[in-house]
Each structure stands twice: as C-alpha cells, then as structure tokens.
Amino acid sequence: MDNAFQAAFRLIAERDPVLVEIVTLSLQVSLTAVLIASAIALPLGAAIALWQFPGRGLLIVILNAFMGLPPVVAGLMVYLMLSRAGPLGELGLLFTPTAMVIAQVVLILPIVAALSRQVIEELWGEYREQLQSLGVSRLGAIPTLLWDARFSLTTVVLAGFGRASAEVGAVLIVGGNISGVTRVMTTSIALETNRGNLPLALGLGIILLVLVATVNAVAYMVGESARRRLG
Amino acid sequence: MRRSGPRALFAAIALAITGAVQAGDSITLASTTSTEASGLFDHIVPKFREATGIHVRVVAVGTGQAFEIGRRGDADVLLVHDTAAEEAFVSDGYAAERRHVMSNDFVLVGPADDPADVAGADSALDAFRRIADGEHPFTSRGDDSGTHRAERNLWHDAGIQPRGRWYRELGSGMGGTLNTAAAMDAYTYADRATWTAFGNRQNLTLLFDGDDVMFNQYGSLLLDGDRHPHVKHDKARQWHEWLLSDQGQEAIASFRLRGQQLFFPNDATPPEP
C-alpha cells in the first residue's frame, strides 16, 4: 500500500508525460460519452415519464435491466458492430477513441434514461395540474421539468460518469489499449497488473479515484452555489 | 448547462475526426501479451517509425484472439507464436505471407521449495509428469493463447490429461496467471519474456528450462489484401519486411530487459514452405 501511494505521488510530482496523456484521454472519452448519452437520455427519460403509450412498462423494465449491462458485453456488441466484418466496418472506427466513446454511451445511456425517468415522473406528479392549467403542453413542459430537476439530474449524470470512468471491459475490447492512442486509466491499471507492477497499478488506481472525486466535487460545488443563489 | 449541448456535440464530432485521422499513416498490429508486457514494442516500434515514418499501433491480446482479429480484418499484420495455427491461417487464405521473425523459450516456474522437484527433472515432459503425479497446484492460462497451446501440447506429449483440483484453468493473461501462481504457490508455464519482466514474483522462481521442446517461435503474418481490401497492405508489408531486415533483426536483438536478451532474431531461419 505504501509503495502504491509513493508510486502515485511520484507520477503526479514528476508530471509524467505519459500519465498526463492517459489522464487527458480518459477524461476526454468519458466526459464526451456522458455528454452524448445525457443529450439523448435526459429528453428520452422525460418523454417516457410524461407520455403513456403501449409497451411503456416493458421499455422501463428494459432500461432498468440495461443499467446492469456488463461492460464486456457492451464492448463485444460494439466490437462486432465496428469490426471490419461487421455492419459499420466501413467507418474504420475500431481501436480508436471514438469506438470507446460509443461503447461507453451504450453503457451509460440506460442509466441516465432510467434514473431521469424516475426523477421527472415524480416531479411531473407535482407540477402536472399547475402546468396544464397554464395551458402548457407535455412537450412544452419537458424543458421546465428538466430545469427544475437539474440538481437531482446532476447526480444522475454523475452516476453515468462514474460508470464510464470506472469500467475497463468495454474500452479494452473496442479500444485495444494501444499505447498513446487508446490507452486510458483503467486499461493502464489492467496492463500494469499483468506486468506484476502492483504498486504502480494501485498508484494509478489512486490517481483515478482522485480524478473522479474531483469531477464530483466540482459538480457538487457548482450545484451548491446555484442552490444558494436561488435561495 | 443547456446551451453547452451543441458545443459538446461538436467536441464529440471533433474527437471522432481526430480518431479517424490518426489512423491515416499508421498500421494496426495484433500481437501477443508476451511481447507487449516485456516492453519489446516500446523498443522496436520507434526505430521502425524513424526508418519509415509509419506508426505501429499495437493491440496486445492472446494469440487465439489475435487470429480472430486478423480473420475479421481488424488488423493489418499479426505477430504471434503458434507455428501450426499460423500455417493453417495461411492455408485458409487469411494471410498472404508468413515469416519466422524471432524466438525465445518457455520456462517452468513454481514455488521456491519445489515440492514436485521439477528442478531435478531430466526433461520438460518429466517435469510435467512430476507435477501431475503429485497433484501439485498448477495454474494454466486457459485462454487459447500461444503459451496455453504450447502448454497443452506438453501435457498431451507427456500422456497426461490434466484435470482435477490441482489443475487450475484461469482464462487469464500471462501476467494474471503469474500473479495467481504467486498467490497460491502453484507451478505455471510462462514465456521467458513475460517472466523476466514480471515484477510480482513473491515466492516464485524459475525451476526448469532449456529443453528443446520449450522452444517458442514468433511469426509475422501479413494479411491477404484480396480478402480484406481495406488493410494497409503496402505499409504492413514494409513492417513485415523491416522485421526481417538487418535493421529490424538488429533492433530485436538489441532489446534488453534486466540485462537479458529476451528475443533472438531468426534471420538464419529460412521461411516455412
């Protein structure tokens, strides 16, 4: 353990250029995946919350179930899609950061959609009569609901970010852990474990935890200051 | 928050584009974990890049998975170690050409007190029999890698069907298997490069090596451009031929880890028919 902390501190103190590159790519991939997934999943979650349609229950069950999608399965699905022998092979996206973003979007989208559906549905119960008495349509209500639920939804999005930055199975398969191209924090940790460099592997793990904690802290502080301003 | 939506999408698209551009003057090499974990590629890839300007992107997986990546056309060239399967890969029409590139050997490692006394064995088969007879714990890769295939061949040749509680199939890479062997004081069969590079030996030590049947041959496979028109055939051929050139063979021979030469060039070996 002591060696792990030493390894972590040494890497940070030396501003190891390879580490900087890996950290940058990790954040780039996971944040991009979170933004894309949220852009689709928040309105989707709101829509499912507001409208009644046949198969709605089934869709909710499927979304909830896919929150537990194993990353390797998501990775394998994206791999088979993007492989040269697969339907999207022409794009040549396998073993690129883009492929990693796609795999993480597949992983996070159900989480953000399912949890935001829950949040919006509860809020809709409170707001429904008032909004409808003002003549606001369901479609028109979505931005209001998303905005008023923004603090809860921030937590939802952070849950998605946590999942994206923590998983290794999907990015390893679709990214290939190529040095300098698709190597991120989690795949580096797996590689160093395979090299038997356990202190270094754990040191990288500590850095990853600090990074994720930092992103969460920033989100928390932004949320708190906004909350105080609104009183 | 809402206003940053479109900007985020553009950032995503930009990332997608850079990802695609990066692939332009590079080739993808599917290779084995043993070559990657030892650091060989960190040593030879920059030399190749200096000579040709081509960047080699290494995807390090087990040999079985490397073949699958090749079959699907997801790499341009392979560097693997299972001669029989490599020949089949060529005769099945997936690869246009195959060459011996370099070799080293496998080693039998185990707990320092060596309860099966494999250090006293007079051959690799004898050593394997001693482990099986005493039912001493043995961790197998179990992942259809080149090393796993070589290990299975030895059990077969020793006339043993390894099964029982002492034989643990892990489905893991070489490093993961060594980590497990170290934790449970088990014997295991490893390639010398990964073993030399491995940093978590604990009580494990090298107990038996040097038998000719423990020879480990690496081959380069150039994918068939007719079957996979998108592969960067010309650039891949430059790599394939550079590996066998004086410069490439010299680069392989000059790689040292902990003062040891881990890969031996094959320039004297004629290509297989």
Residues B77 and B148 in one domain: no
**Vertex A145: Cα angle to A141 and A148 (nearest 5):** 140
Residues B27 and B155 in one domain: no
Asked if A55 reaches chain B (Cβ–Cβ under 8 Å), the answer is: no
Residue B21 predicted with pLDDT over 60: no
Residues B204 and B224 in one domain: no
Residues B96 and B16 in one domain: yes
Asked if A97 reaches chain B (Cβ–Cβ under 8 Å), the answer is: yes
- In this prediction, residue B15 carries a pLDDT of 55
The answer to whether residue A9 is domain-embedded is no
| pLDDT confidence bin for A128, thresholds 50/70/90 | very high
Query: Is B175 in Cβ contact with A195 (below 8 Å)?
Result: yes
Which chain A residues touch B41 with a CB distance below 8 Å? 179
Residue B19 predicted with pLDDT over 60: no
The answer to whether residue A66 is domain-embedded is yes
Residue A170 predicted with pLDDT over 50: yes
- In this prediction, residue B266 carries a pLDDT of 84
The answer to whether residue B273 is domain-embedded is no
- In this prediction, residue B3 carries a pLDDT of 43
Which stretches of chain B sit within 8 Å of chain A by CB?
1-2, 5, 8-9, 11-12, 15-16, 18-20, 22-23, 28, 33, 36-37, 41-42, 57-61, 71-74, 173-176, 178-179, 197-201, 228, 230
Query: Is B33 in Cβ contact with A194 (below 8 Å)?
Result: yes
- In this prediction, residue B270 carries a pLDDT of 42
- CATH code of the domain containing A86: 1.10.3720.10
Average pLDDT estimate for A25-50: 96
Query: Is B228 in Cβ contact with A84 (below 8 Å)?
Result: yes
Cα separation, A111 vs A107, in Å, equals 8
Query: Is A35 in Cβ contact with B8 (below 8 Å)?
Result: yes
The answer to whether residue B272 is domain-embedded is no
Contact A102, A71 (CB under 8 A): no
Residue A197 predicted with pLDDT over 70: yes
**What distance in Å separates residue A47's CA from the closest CA in chain B?**
17
Could you tell me which residue, B14 or A200, shows the higher pLDDT? A200
The pTM (predicted TM-score) of the whole model is: 0.86
**B95-111 and B215-223 strand pairing:** antiparallel
- In this prediction, residue A15 carries a pLDDT of 82
Question: The complex's ipTM?
Answer: 0.81
Residues B87 and B110 in one domain: no
Q: Which helix (H) or strand (E) holds B34?
A: helix B33-38
**What distance in Å separates residue B159's CA from the closest CA in chain A?**
31
Residue A188: give the domain boundaries: 19-230
What is the rounded average pLDDT for all residues in chain B?
89
The answer to whether residue A2 is domain-embedded is no
- CATH code of the domain containing B30: 3.40.190.10
The answer to whether residue A90 is domain-embedded is yes
The answer to whether residue B270 is domain-embedded is no
- In this prediction, residue B16 carries a pLDDT of 54
Share of chain A above pLDDT 70, in %: 99
Which chain B residues touch A86 with a CB distance below 8 Å? 72
Residue A215 predicted with pLDDT over 80: yes
Residue A222 predicted with pLDDT over 60: yes
Query: Is B1 in Cβ contact with A150 (below 8 Å)?
Result: yes
- Residue B272 in tokens: 């297989």
CA atoms within 13 A on the CB side of A75: 18
Which chain A residues touch B228 with a CB distance below 8 Å? 84
Number of domains, chain A = 1
- The DSSP 8-state label assigned to residue B118 in this structure reads G
- Residue A189 in tokens: 């940790």
Contact A216, A163 (CB under 8 A): no
Residues B86 and B171 in one domain: no
Domain end among B174, B194, B214: B214
| pLDDT confidence bin for B2, thresholds 50/70/90 | very low
- Distances in Å between the alpha carbon of B11 and those of A25, A31, B17? 13, 10, 10
Residue B204: give the domain boundaries: 105-214
Hey, which residues does B104 pair with through a beta bridge? B216
Residues B163 and B229 in one domain: no
Average pLDDT estimate for B50-57: 95
- In this prediction, residue A108 carries a pLDDT of 96
- In this prediction, residue A13 carries a pLDDT of 85
Which chain B residues touch A98 with a CB distance below 8 Å? 15-16, 19-20
pLDDT in tens, A66-89: 999 999 999 999 999 999 999 999
The answer to whether residue B271 is domain-embedded is no
Number of domains, chain B = 2
- The DSSP 8-state label assigned to residue A96 in this structure reads S
- The DSSP 8-state label assigned to residue B224 in this structure reads P
